[in-house]
Structure 1
Amino acid sequence: MADSIKPAIVNEDGGTPPKWKVIGPGLVVAATGVGAADMVATLVAGNKYGYGLLWAVIVGVIMKIVLVEGAGRYSLATGKTIFEGWRTLGKWTTWYFGPYIIIWGFVYGATAMSSAALPLAALMPAVDLRIWAVLMGLAGFTLVWLGRYAFFEKVTAVLVGIMFVTVVGLAVIAAPNLPEMLRGLVPLIPEGGLFYTLALAGGVGGTITLAAYGYWLREKGWITPKWMRVMRIDNSMAYVMTGIFVISMLIVGAEVVSAAGVSLTSGDRGLLDLSDVLADRYGQFIGTGFLVGFWAASFSSILGVWNGVSLMFADFWGHMRGKAAGHADTLVGGKYFKFYLLWLTFPPIILVMLGKPVGLILAYGVLGSLFMPFLALTLLGLLNGKRIEKAWANKLHTNIALGVTALLFIALGVQQLIKALSPLLGG
């Protein structure tokens, strides 16, 4: 364990290292959170509303900076994991989180594999989509099972580089309308677009992996309050990059998809539609290049979840077994970590091959819609009062920001809950 927590980036004089050398866990959590579904949602927003929701994207980036900074600050200030913190809020947190992480992992495993397989099946259609999906799951499993955190972070950085160059390059080629973009900074909600606006703001790089940030800080070796400033730089710069990425997708939706006059298929397959549009407009090289970026976005999510959520489960199960945080069984390579890694990879292959049962998807939708409100509200509890030293507790403006974020995710959660339950309610 000593090697895994050794501070990795301190200058010889003990000062803070250059900003470009502190990018690490923040980039991982941001990259993991931006998947194919977020890309499609942003494209559709650009297509339907032009640059009118640009402000919502920026609000979303700010909210994620606040949430991830809160999770990181709690871990550095207390030396505890986020799950240890949740337990101090009452047993209800354990009763919620335990079933959630099991059901979520089972369904997300199949979803992530299929998402990463789609662009590969489009590029090499001779191989069946389901085969590609299984290969993607096995590739993620192997890289996370055998690799330590430093290797995992480097691979993620390469994938982020591919995503970034591909999508930002497309935005430059699409030639954004700058005056319209400036008008899009004015907060206006399109007619009938309230929940779509909320969804766009809430979906900028937001998944369960936001809560995994503290675990990646530990793996990086950032484990005490002296890393607080470094953590904040890491988190902010990573989500600024995410913002540029998502704004670029909005530009492509506003300029390319709108001009083509097409309707994108819902879900991940909408990116295949975009690839066809790009190939028709700019040539096959650009269309193929976008498929590579699509794959990089999807596969980075596989790696991030396979690593980060496995760490969260290992910590949860270790505490259920009476083992302290940091016990060998709860770390990367430990038996609890490996169990969840197996759970994410192999049982979901059944769903890939047979399709996803409606009942399981319903349960996933119900639980999933309530996780982000859970994170926002519990951070308010953990970052105030006796659970954290006064020096690191929330200031008034931070409480306001977290409170607004919590209200937004509660509204989103209720809307998604109604949507998930509508088949049972005859909707």
Structure 2
Amino acid sequence: MFKKIGPGVLVAAAFVGPGTITMCTLAGAHFGYALIWALLVSIIATIVLQGMAGRIGLVTQNGLVDVVRTELKTPWIRNVVIAIVLGAILVGNAAYEAGNIGGATLGLEQLLPQQQIKPFLPAIIGTVIFLLLWFSSYKILEKIFVGLVGIMGLSFVISAIITQPSIAGILKGMFVPQLPEGGLLTVIALVGTTVVPYNLFLHASLVKEKWNSINDLKTVNWDTIISIGLGGLVSMAILITASAAPISDINHALDMAKSLEPLFGKMAVYFMATGLLAAGITSAITAPLAAAYVASSCFGWQGGMQNRKFKIVWGIVLLCGVVFLSFDIKPIEVIQFAQVANGILLPVMALLLLWVVNKKSVMGENKNSLLQNVLGITIVIFAIFLGAKSIFKVIGLF
């Protein structure tokens, strides 16, 4: 079974990062179990979209941008789409990389008692990630991710079990949708941190790295469903844990861990810190990797992960994260631009995915079924709504 697990694990690790952990913490602390349904919807949407991206990668043996670039015949439309994709991914991932490394740093700070090395932790973590990306092949990274995701999952699930949650309350929150007062933006944020545009590019590229036969389609589908489903379970565990924490002022996920300490002991902090460290490292690896795959597809570079230009792109994204964090730079404007760019990118990519995966000339007999199209169109409508809300929020209209 473990030999068949692959790219889905990296996708799950990418969306369960420090940002998702913080949003799940906020949702649980402010609304209890009431918004678990939003996570369930997010996971279903992610499985559907990532399933399409993985199928395209397997059938075409190309990255997502390669396929879109080939199928868009009108030059100006093709150039506009590629410019939006490239700009959103490079700027967005560089801006969010600081948060990924910051999450790993917060986790490590709780596990290391030595105060004197804390200022150097971002640089240390950045160096470890650099070495992993520079010297590792896809197969090695996959094994590392399976281990890290396992640690992360166990840490957060054990944290949730420690709080002795109400099973009836969880089931009600999952299957009886509610929208508490002030909960709309939290729902949008939960979906936005789970259905991540750059993961679509990452998934298609990684699928073709691992599998090259159409006979592997069933394996690809199960890898997507199981891995992303487990990622969703981790997100729910964080929300459930937070609902038991007596906190009002939340800046990051460890605020939850510290508030749990008087109730459940120091082990709560250790489990949360370990999970946050693993989540930060995995997201800090996948964000630069996705940016490099997108750039590689846009410019037609050959050689995969060993291409020098490929390494330069992920190196720049990683360096931006370390610099922003080490010098306490607050890249608010950059992050706001990234939010706008991703708000545009998600519906654009969802539409392009749906279009490509219905083209018989590209997908052959593996094009979408009626049910997949119904789900896909529903997600596209929701993505347009989500994107519009995030853009309006940034420019102050909402």
TM-score (norm 2): 0.91
Task: Give the partner amino acid of 1:303.
Answer: I
Quick one: distance in 1 between partners of 2:335 and 2:284? 19
Quick one: distance in 2 between partners of 1:397 and 1:79? 25
Quick one: distance in 1 between partners of 2:289 and 2:89? 14
| 1:232 CA displacement | 0.3
Kindly provide the CA deviation profile for residues 295-340 of structure 1, in whole angstroms up to 9, marking residues without a partner as x: 11111111222333322322222x2xxx5xxx22xx1111121111
Task: Give the partner amino acid of 2:108.
Answer: L
292, 296, 315: which is aligned to 1:310?
292
SS at match of 1:101: helix
Task: Give the partner amino acid of 1:36.
Answer: P
SS at match of 1:389: helix
1:379 aligns with 2:353: yes
Match of residue 203 from structure 1: 193
Task: Give the partner amino acid of 1:105.
Answer: N
Match of residue 293 from structure 1: 275
Quick one: distance in 1 between partners of 2:116 and 2:52? 44
Quick one: distance in 1 between partners of 2:191 and 2:337? 24
| 1:347 CA displacement | 4.0
Quick one: distance in 1 between partners of 2:361 and 2:94? 33
Match of residue 96 from structure 2: 108
Task: Give the partner amino acid of 1:111.
Answer: G
Note closer, same or farther for the CA distance 1:296–1:204 as it changes in structure 2 (3 Å cut): same
- Stretch deviating more after TM superposition (401-410 or 203-212): 203-212
1:51 aligns with 2:41: no
Note closer, same or farther for the CA distance 1:313–1:152 as it changes in structure 2 (3 Å cut): same
| 1:354 CA displacement | 4.7
Quick one: distance in 1 between partners of 2:336 and 2:257? 30
158, 169, 180: which is aligned to 2:147?
158
Note closer, same or farther for the CA distance 1:411–1:404 as it changes in structure 2 (3 Å cut): same
1:94 aligns with 2:88: no
Note closer, same or farther for the CA distance 1:366–1:111 as it changes in structure 2 (3 Å cut): same
Quick one: distance in 2 between partners of 1:346 and 1:120? 19
Task: Give the partner amino acid of 1:93.
Answer: V
Percent of residue pairs bearing the same amino acid type = 26
SS at match of 1:203: helix
Match of residue 206 from structure 2: 216
Quick one: distance in 1 between partners of 2:99 and 2:18? 10
Kindly provide the CA deviation profile for residues 173-227 of structure 1, in whole angstroms up to 9, marking residues without a partner as x: 111212222222112322342342233234336351232111111222x123111
Quick one: distance in 2 between partners of 1:53 and 1:354? 33
Note closer, same or farther for the CA distance 1:416–1:129 as it changes in structure 2 (3 Å cut): farther
Note closer, same or farther for the CA distance 1:357–1:296 as it changes in structure 2 (3 Å cut): closer
Contact 1:77 1:389 in 2 (8 A): yes
- Stretch deviating more after TM superposition (235-244 or 126-135): 126-135
Match of residue 342 from structure 1: 315
Contact 1:216 1:308 in 2 (8 A): no
Task: Give the partner amino acid of 1:186.
Answer: V
1:418 aligns with 2:389: no
Quick one: distance in 1 between partners of 2:107 and 2:116? 12
393, 418, 423: which is aligned to 2:367?
393
Kindly provide the CA deviation profile for residues 114-157 of structure 1, in whole angstroms up to 9, marking residues without a partner as x: 22212223444614655211221121111110011111111111
Quick one: distance in 2 between partners of 1:289 and 1:144? 26
Cα RMSD for the two superposed structures: 2.1
Match of residue 250 from structure 2: 265
- Stretch deviating more after TM superposition (369-378 or 148-157): 369-378
395, 399, 406: which is aligned to 2:380?
406
Higher helix proportion, which one?
2
Quick one: distance in 2 between partners of 1:40 and 1:62? 21
Task: Give the partner amino acid of 1:248.
Answer: A
Quick one: distance in 2 between partners of 1:54 and 1:357? 31
Quick one: distance in 2 between partners of 1:155 and 1:264? 35
Note closer, same or farther for the CA distance 1:207–1:111 as it changes in structure 2 (3 Å cut): farther
Contact 1:32 1:205 in 2 (8 A): no
Contact 2:360 2:367 in 1 (8 A): no
Q: Which runs of 5+ in 1 are unaligned?
A: 1-18
SS at match of 2:306: coil
Quick one: distance in 2 between partners of 1:181 and 1:347? 39
Quick one: distance in 2 between partners of 1:238 and 1:38? 16
Contact 1:114 1:130 in 2 (8 A): no
Task: Give the partner amino acid of 1:418.
Answer: F
110, 121, 128: which is aligned to 1:132?
121
41, 55, 58: which is aligned to 1:73?
55
1:62 aligns with 2:36: no
TM-score (norm 1): 0.85
Quick one: distance in 2 between partners of 1:68 and 1:362? 25
Task: Give the partner amino acid of 2:186.
Answer: Y
Task: Give the partner amino acid of 1:144.
Answer: L
Quick one: distance in 1 between partners of 2:376 and 2:233? 23
Quick one: distance in 1 between partners of 2:274 and 2:224? 26
Task: Give the partner amino acid of 2:278.
Answer: A
257, 268, 274: which is aligned to 1:275?
257
Contact 1:123 1:291 in 2 (8 A): yes
Match of residue 305 from structure 2: 332
- Stretch deviating more after TM superposition (20-29 or 160-169): 20-29
33, 48, 53: which is aligned to 2:15?
33
Task: Give the partner amino acid of 1:201.
Answer: V
1:173 aligns with 2:174: no
| 1:406 CA displacement | 1.5
